[in-house]
């Protein structure tokens, strides 16, 4: 019964942590068409989107021209004077005739300093582009409408709705090369979509971003951003209009929603499949951000050489700090690990050589996880091809694996199998080393990765620094207060801390990666999950073992 109590507490800790995570990524309620005019209403914005995303409208097509004419009229209705910048553009091996839509919302400062608010109105030839990027253009139109219904901002806002983004950023390239407004821009805010639903992530910024991240934290009600996404994105071949501005030294923020990426560049990227609550979140975020930037000292926002490490912890907690303290924080964490190891050794809980052995066995466990998942994916692939009569690596094959129902089901199966494997391996290893030695051995791996990221990939360092710190402090607390009368409360708190940090800091980011790569990177994803799984499983088994030993000692004393 005592053992069941700890397993129940583990489940409760897991459930609470997941509920906090679900609240973090939850979407707001829609605001009606009758919402105050200085607020963003997704219902009003949907009317704009309905006119944009009727049909596919790639560059140099009649549908593209229809959308362009509609947007020009919308901007005129808002009291702006839009201009069309028609030109031939070439970027790399892509070229074409494009027409950018440009307008300027004048500020009260009578200065040329401006914020560049950007998205694109062209779509791919296969889909109507409701999310990518009709939703973003609708967000801009409704944001400008709201700003026109309140006190005039200090700074100008340049509205740039580019053409030819889907043809390798032709419109953005033309703007930075040819248009004089580019020289007025101090910051850029770019809107994108890589799916048709979900919370909007600020996934990319520039170097020296400390002040602009601080501005986002102060202005956006529920900022959802992670410096690790920028580190990952820098290694990918993908680009958005933001790429052209960043390459010219312009700093700013790049936003996108990524849920429902199976509709990305597909015929299913239509109005019927688009999540209106995502539009509400997008609009509320951008409106509040533009209000702040519109009244900010733009030179001060750019006056920094400091990079920021940042991440969303909960719905209302956004953490950011200078990347300069990443290494000192990691060194402090390693010193705490040494203290934890020393105390555990002095209390007779561990042997140092067995901790080292545990580190090696954990590495082997991660390798086995990788090989198992790789084999499972190979079997899944052959089974899917046989059942559905399609060849591997074809369009139909790809669409089968990125459909949420299939992808999520398969990944859940992999996760269950991996968890069973971890429990069996840890139970087997326990024949030779105890659970605390396994736990500490795994923390050695976390610490190595933590130090590596702190030195070379500072934006991703928080993933390992804060989780490792929590893992160490939670076990240190258990050891220091192991004879306390509040031991069970301390143990539960420690277990919850491990669950919360692992799920809301570490696993959340892995989930975001999964949304982008689906199951094609499942072996790597399962290894990353297993790195955390070893911590939790060994922790739970350690607590259960200690509790069992207490029961046995009590039984002996009574007899």
Q: Are residues 355 and 243 in the same domain?
A: no
Q: Residue 471 region, left (φ>0) first, then alpha (ψ -120 to 50), else beta?
A: alpha
Give the span between the Cα atoms of 522 and 232, in whole angstroms. Answer: 17
Q: Are residues 299 and 336 in the same domain?
A: no
Burial per residue of 382-398, b for 16 or more beta-carbon CB atoms within 10 angstroms, e otherwise? eebbeeeebeeeeeebe
- Contact between residue 42 and residue 30 where contact means Cβ atoms under 8 Å apart: yes
Pick the closest to residue 299 from 400, 187, 462 (CA basis).
Answer: 187
Phi, psi of 252 (to 5 degrees): 165, -155
The per-residue pLDDT for 523 is: 97
pLDDT of residue 484 exceeding 90: no
pLDDT of residue 219 exceeding 70: yes
| Span 358-392, pLDDT tens digits | 999 999 999 999 999 999 999 999 999 999 999 88
Q: Are residues 301 and 358 in the same domain?
A: no
Q: Are residues 285 and 374 in the same domain?
A: no
Q: Are residues 302 and 332 in the same domain?
A: no
pLDDT of residue 550 exceeding 50: no
Q: Are residues 230 and 378 in the same domain?
A: no
Q: Are residues 90 and 193 in the same domain?
A: yes
Q: Are residues 144 and 239 in the same domain?
A: yes
The mean pLDDT of 457-483, rounded to a whole number, is 95
Please state the domain count of the chain: 2
Q: Is residue 368, in this structure, part of any structural domain at all? A: yes
Exposure of 110 by Cβ count < 10 A (0-12 exposed, 13-18 middle, 19+ buried)?
Answer: exposed
**Torsion angle of alpha carbons 50, 55, 58, 64, nearest 10°?**
-60
pLDDT of residue 473 exceeding 60: yes
Q: Give the pLDDT band (50/70/90) at residue 462.
A: very high
Q: Give the pLDDT band (50/70/90) at residue 3.
A: low
Q: Which of 273, 306, 339 is the last residue of a domain?
A: 306
pLDDT of residue 86 exceeding 90: yes
Give the span between the Cα atoms of 236 and 539, in whole angstroms. Answer: 36
Give the span between the Cα atoms of 445 and 535, in whole angstroms. Answer: 11
CATH of the domain at 85: 3.40.630.10
Q: Is residue 319, in this structure, part of any structural domain at all? A: no
Q: Is residue 35, in this structure, part of any structural domain at all? A: yes
pLDDT of residue 112 exceeding 50: yes
pLDDT of residue 533 exceeding 70: yes
Q: Is residue 179, in this structure, part of any structural domain at all? A: yes
Q: Is residue 369, in this structure, part of any structural domain at all? A: yes
Higher-pLDDT residue of 284, 539 = 284
Q: Give the pLDDT band (50/70/90) at residue 554.
A: very low
Q: Are residues 297 and 398 in the same domain?
A: no
| Span 22-41, pLDDT tens digits | 999 999 999 999 999 999 99
Q: Is residue 16, in this structure, part of any structural domain at all? A: no
Pick the closest to residue 435 from 354, 342, 509, 333 (CA basis).
Answer: 354
Lowest mean pLDDT among 251-260, 287-296, 423-432, 536-545: 536-545
Q: Residue 51 region, left (φ>0) first, then alpha (ψ -120 to 50), else beta?
A: alpha
Q: Is residue 94, in this structure, part of any structural domain at all? A: yes
Residue 183: domain span? 28-306
Strand 185-193 relative to strand 197-205, pairing? unpaired
Q: Give the pLDDT band (50/70/90) at residue 2.
A: low
Helical packing angle, 42-52 and 136-148, nearest 10°: 130
Give the span between the Cα atoms of 94 and 362, in whole angstroms. Answer: 48
The per-residue pLDDT for 407 is: 95
Q: Give the pLDDT band (50/70/90) at residue 558.
A: very low
Q: Are residues 195 and 280 in the same domain?
A: yes
| Span 441-455, pLDDT tens digits | 999 999 999 999 999
3-state helix, strand, coil in the chain (%, to 5): 65, 15, 25
The per-residue pLDDT for 236 is: 76
- Contact between residue 252 and residue 187 where contact means Cβ atoms under 8 Å apart: yes
Q: In percent, how much of the chain has pLDDT > 90?
A: 87
Q: What is the pTM of this model?
A: 0.93
Q: Are residues 235 and 375 in the same domain?
A: no
Please provide the DSSP assignment of 113-127 as one string. -EEEEEEE----SSS
Q: Which of 306, 335, 351 is the last residue of a domain?
A: 306
Give the span between the Cα atoms of 6 and 490, in whole angstroms. Answer: 12
- Contact between residue 481 and residue 491 where contact means Cβ atoms under 8 Å apart: no
The per-residue pLDDT for 555 is: 35
Pick the closest to residue 493 from 508, 478, 504, 472 (CA basis).
Answer: 478
The mean pLDDT of 193-202, rounded to a whole number, is 96
| Average pLDDT across the chain, whole number | 93
Higher-pLDDT residue of 447, 236 = 447
Scanning the structure block, which residue is given the tokens 């990347």? 323
The mean pLDDT of 134-149, rounded to a whole number, is 97
Q: Which residues contact 379 (CB under 8 A, 6 or more apart)?
A: none
For the chain, the residue count is 559
pLDDT of residue 153 exceeding 80: yes
The per-residue pLDDT for 161 is: 98
Q: Is residue 10, in this structure, part of any structural domain at all? A: no
Strand 114-120 relative to strand 185-193, pairing? parallel
The mean pLDDT of 483-488, rounded to a whole number, is 86
Q: Are residues 274 and 364 in the same domain?
A: no
Q: Give the pLDDT band (50/70/90) at residue 11.
A: confident
Q: Give the pLDDT band (50/70/90) at residue 546.
A: low
Cα–Cα distances in angstroms (integers) from residue 46 to residues 68, 132, 138, 279, 472, in the given order: 17, 14, 7, 8, 49
Give the span between the Cα atoms of 545 and 553, in whole angstroms. Answer: 12
């Amino acid at each position: 019964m005592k053992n069941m109590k700890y397993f129940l507490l583990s489940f409760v800790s897991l459930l609470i942590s997941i509920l906090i995570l679900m609240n973090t990524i939850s979407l707001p309620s829609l605001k009606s068409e009758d919402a105050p005019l200085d607020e963003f209403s997704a219902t009003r914005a949907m009317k704009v989107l309905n006119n944009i995303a009727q049909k596919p409208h790639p560059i140099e097509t009649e549908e593209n021209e229809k959308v362009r004419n509609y947007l020009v009229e919308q901007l005129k209705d808002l009291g702006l004077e839009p201009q069309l910048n028609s030109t031939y553009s070439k970027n790399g091996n892509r070229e074409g005739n494009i027409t950018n839509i440009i307008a300027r919302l004048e500020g009260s400062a009578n200065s040329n300093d401006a914020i560049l608010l950007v998205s694109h109105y062209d779509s791919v030839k296969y889909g109507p582009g409701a999310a990518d990027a009709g939703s973003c253009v609708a967000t801009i139109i409704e944001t400008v409408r709201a700003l026109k219904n309140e006190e005039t901002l200090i700074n100008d806002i340049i509205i740039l709705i580019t053409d030819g983004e889907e043809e390798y950023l032709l419109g953005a390239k033309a703007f930075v090369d040819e248009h004089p407004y580019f020289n007025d821009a101090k910051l850029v805010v770019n809107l994108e979509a890589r799916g048709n639903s979900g919370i909007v992530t600020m996934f990319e910024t520039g170097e020296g971003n400390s002040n602009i991240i601080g501005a986002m934290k102060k202005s956006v009600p529920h900022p959802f951003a992670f410096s690790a996404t920028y580190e990952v994105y820098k290694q990918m071949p993908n680009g958005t209009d933001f790429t052209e501005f960043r390459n010219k030294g312009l700093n700013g923020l790049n936003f996108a929603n990524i849920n429902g990426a199976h509709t990305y560049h597909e015929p299913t990227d239509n109005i019927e499949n688009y999540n209106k609550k995502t539009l509400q979140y997008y609009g509320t975020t951008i409106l509040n951000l533009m209000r702040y930037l519109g009244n900010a000292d733009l030179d001060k926002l750019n006056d920094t050489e400091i990079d920021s490490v940042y991440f969303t912890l909960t719905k209302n907690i956004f953490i950011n700090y200078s990347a300069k303290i990443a290494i000192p924080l990691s060194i402090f964490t390693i010193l705490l690990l040494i203290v934890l190891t020393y105390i555990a050794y002095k209390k007779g809980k561990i042997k140092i050589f067995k901790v080292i052995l545990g580190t090696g066995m954990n590495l082997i466990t991660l390798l086995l996880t990788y090989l198992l998942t790789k084999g499972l994916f190979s079997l899944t692939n052959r089974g899917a091809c046989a059942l559905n009569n399609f060849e591997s690596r074809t369009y139909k094959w790809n669409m089968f694996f990125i459909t949420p129902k299939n992808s999520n089901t398969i990944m859940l199966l992999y996760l269950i199998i991996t968890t069973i494997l971890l429990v069996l391996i840890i139970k087997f290893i326990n024949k030779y080393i105890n659970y605390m030695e396994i736990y500490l051995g795994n923390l050695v791996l976390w610490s190595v990765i933590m130090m590596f990221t702190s030195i070379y990939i500072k934006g991703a360092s928080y993933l390992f620094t804060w989780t490792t710190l929590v893992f160490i402090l939670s076990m240190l607390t258990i050891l220091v207060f192991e004879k306390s009368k509040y031991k069970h409360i301390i143990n539960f708190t420690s277990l919850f801390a491990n669950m919360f940090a692992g799920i809301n800091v570490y696993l959340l980011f892995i989930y975001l990666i999964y949304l982008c790569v689906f199951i094609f990177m499942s072996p790597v994803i399962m290894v990353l999950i297993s790195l955390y799984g070893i911590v939790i499983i060994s922790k739970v088994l350690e607590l259960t073992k200690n509790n069992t030993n207490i029961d046995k000692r009590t039984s002996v004393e009574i007899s």
